[in-house]
Copies of this chain bind each other. A is one copy, B any other.
């Protein structure tokens, strides 16, 4: 059921199991949506505390999909997968009837409408390959100038001792001055609250995928657009499980 005045509900799902991250993700999402949009924030009940490898992604996805299926059953209208690797995106599009957007995807799309080029600043160097893969998959290889890693683990981003904010600003500056990026996409849901500060320091648009993603999903829901069920993204066939 839905509170008075609420006309749509969008689930913002944290694929890792760290509640504190979910809280800041939800805050980033709630701060930008309509008064008529309810943000349902969800933490993955099963999986790793943070996602920093292909293995972490793979282990987080079944739990993530279970959360999406539950929210779908509960009538949620659209979904944001709030992890920069966009884990489980294709599978989520099969099981959700409403639109599903990943935060890397969301950040890249908006970046290409704010200039010719963008760069990415992410957490650990080992995740740069997945960012590069997504850039290519979504069609933005010609727009992405560079990808940097500040080498701060996801769960230490909000630890002042990690110096994360300063490192992110340094790499963003490098992307702009050295690689001539017109904007920067922040490569982790945990960087959402760095966004405005970094942008002010560096002087170019800095995009947080969480707030970008929730507005893209809200837009598609308002437009009545749902993932195509023509063939690939139709609901999966029932299977016998062992």
Residues of A within 8 A of B (CB): 17, 32, 34-35, 45-50, 52-59, 61-62, 65, 88, 90-91, 93-95, 99, 101, 105, 109-110, 112-117, 125-130, 132-133, 136-143, 153, 176, 180-183, 196, 203-205, 207-208, 211-212, 215-216, 218-220, 222-228, 230-234, 236-237, 239-242
Instruction: Given contacts A115-B230, A126-B231, A212-B219, list 8 more A-B pairs with CB under 8 A.
Output: A47-B241, A49-B241, A90-B130, A110-B225, A128-B180, A182-B228, A204-B228, A216-B219
Asked if residues A55 and B65 are in contact (CB atoms below 8 Å), the reply is: yes
Nearest B residue to A136 by beta-carbon distance? B142
Copies in the complex: 6
Asked if residues A99 and B114 are in contact (CB atoms below 8 Å), the reply is: yes
Docked CA distance A8–B162 (Å): 38
User: Which B residues lie within 8 Å of A32 (CB)?
Assistant: 219, 222-223
Asked if residues A112 and B138 are in contact (CB atoms below 8 Å), the reply is: yes
User: Which B residues lie within 8 Å of A212 (CB)?
Assistant: 219, 223
Asked if residues B57 and A91 are in contact (CB atoms below 8 Å), the reply is: yes
Q: How far is the CB of A150 from chain B (nearest CB, A)?
A: 14
Asked if residues A139 and B137 are in contact (CB atoms below 8 Å), the reply is: no
What would 8 A/B residue contacts be, using CB atoms closer than 8 Å? A17-B240, A53-B91, A58-B61, A99-B113, A126-B231, A126-B232, A215-B222, A215-B223
